[in-house]
């Protein structure tokens, strides 16, 4: 039944919804006294339609919303802000607004511009939703860009259904102070653990690496999101951990990024929700903390608000000497 619902919606004509009422202001004012240390939350909020979700997004997303205010920057995945017009029949179209409703961050990425803007031909792919990726921030955001993975596997009946969404990454330039910028990436990679899924994960991270390198080697970066890479040896699928570890390590090496969890010996290196970063010649970044505050994102009835554990990284920044 769920597969039929997804397929019906995916085959409808494509249009984008109206502009996000929570979009960033057109005039960006730097923070008067930007903090030297700031927190970044990455959270896959499990925002698929209630009708097909294993979670309870209709109940949980409004509960997540006020919790976001504890963090200076928030990267979300499965926070869908583009959908097929037939989805207007579902309450799902209100999830994105509800998630941001109680957040006080003044700077926000806009709605996804639709498949044509990211090079996807909807006639050749049964799209249902956008990329589900967003950023909200207390620091000014500019120069938003979108990237969709060039390949995917799975529809309403096969795999993890990745081809129903325009999964990929978003990047924004975030101004810390004195005009000094950091590129902030939020990503959601191919899911699944089969051979085809892993081949696509290799391509995803090669594509992202190429994009990062195309923007130059001297850009400070904070990258977070749902990598779908299980680098822990205890992951149930036999060889996935080792293959995924190689994918992640090659990505870090090619981009000059440092894994925050590995650097700080966080104790849960196998989490698929990760952070990485690098400094440049005008912004010196240092990761000062990482935590997985699952208990904070729990309903009063005891259930987790998502099927993912939130991850929070704390960074200190300064101007390099000399």
The overall average pLDDT reported for the chain is 87
Q: Assign 15 a pLDDT band (cuts: 50, 70, 90).
A: very low
Q: In the prediction, which pLDDT does 12 show?
A: 37
The hierarchical CATH code for the domain 2-8+40-318 is 3.60.10.10
Residue with the bigger pLDDT between 155 and 137: it is: 137
Task: State if pTM tops 0.85.
Answer: yes
Residue with the bigger pLDDT between 109 and 36: it is: 109
- pLDDT tens readout for residues 255-281: 999 999 999 998 776 789 999 999 999
Question: How far, in Å, CA of 250 to CA of 226, rounded?
Answer: 17
Do the Cβ atoms of 43 and 308 come closer than 8 Å? yes
Q: In the prediction, which pLDDT does 237 show?
A: 53
Please state the rounded mean pLDDT for residues 35-46.
95
Q: In the prediction, which pLDDT does 6 show?
A: 47
Helix axes 195-214, 240-255, angle to 10 degrees: 10
Q: In the prediction, which pLDDT does 64 show?
A: 98
* Contacts of 198 by beta carbon, 8 Å cutoff, 6+ apart: 240, 243, 244, 247
Please state the rounded mean pLDDT for residues 43-59.
91
Please state the rounded mean pLDDT for residues 229-252.
76
Residue with the bigger pLDDT between 153 and 297: it is: 297
Do the Cβ atoms of 137 and 171 come closer than 8 Å? no
Residue with the bigger pLDDT between 170 and 2: it is: 170
Domain positions in the chain are 2-8+40-318
pLDDT at residue 8 is higher than 80: no
Residue 304: how many CA atoms within 13 Å on its side-chain side? Answer: 15
Please state the rounded mean pLDDT for residues 116-131.
87
Q: In the prediction, which pLDDT does 21 show?
A: 45
pLDDT at residue 13 is higher than 60: no
Please state the rounded mean pLDDT for residues 99-120.
94
* Contacts of 299 by beta carbon, 8 Å cutoff, 6+ apart: 59, 60, 63, 305
Which of 6-10, 20-24, 120-124, 197-201 has the highest average model confidence (pLDDT)? 197-201
């Amino acid at each position: 039944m769920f597969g039929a619902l997804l397929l019906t919606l995916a085959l409808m004509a494509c249009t984008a919804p109206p502009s996000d009422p929570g979009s960033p202001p057109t005039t960006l004012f730097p923070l008067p006294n930007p903090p030297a240390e700031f927190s970044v939350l990455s959270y896959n909020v499990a925002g698929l339609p209630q009708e097909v979700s294993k979670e309870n997004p209709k109940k949980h997303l409004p509960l997540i919303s006020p919790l976001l205010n504890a963090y200076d920057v928030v990267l979300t995945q499965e926070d869908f802000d583009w959908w097929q017009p037939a989805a207007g029949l579902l309450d799902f179209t209100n999830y994105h607004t509800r998630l941001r409703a109680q957040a006080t961050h003044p700077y926000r990425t806009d709605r996804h511009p639709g498949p044509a803007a990211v090079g996807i031909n909807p006639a050749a792919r049964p799209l249902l939703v956008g990329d589900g990726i967003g950023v909200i921030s207390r620091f000014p955001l500019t120069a938003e860009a979108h990237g969709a993975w060039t390949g995917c596997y799975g529809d309403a009946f096969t795999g993890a259904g990745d081809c129903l969404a325009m999964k990929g990454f978003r990047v924004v330039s975030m101004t810390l102070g004195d005009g000094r910028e950091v590129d902030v990436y939020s990503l959601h990679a191919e899911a699944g653990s089969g051979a085809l899924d892993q081949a696509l994960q290799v391509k995803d991270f090669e594509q992202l690496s190429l994009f990062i390198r195309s923007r130059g080697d001297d850009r400070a970066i904070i990258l977070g999101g749902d990598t779908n890479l299980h680098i822990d040896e205890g992951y149930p699928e036999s060889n996935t951990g080792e293959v995924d570890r190689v994918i992640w390590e090659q990505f870090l090496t090619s981009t000059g990024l440092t894994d925050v969890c590995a650097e700080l010996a966080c104790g849960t290196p196998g989490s698929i929700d990760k952070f990485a970063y690098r400094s440049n010649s005008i912004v010196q970044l240092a990761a000062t903390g990482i935590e997985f505050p699952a208990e904070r994102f729990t309903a009063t009835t005891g259930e987790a608000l998502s099927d993912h554990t939130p991850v929070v990284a704390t960074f200190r920044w300064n101007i390099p000497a000399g």
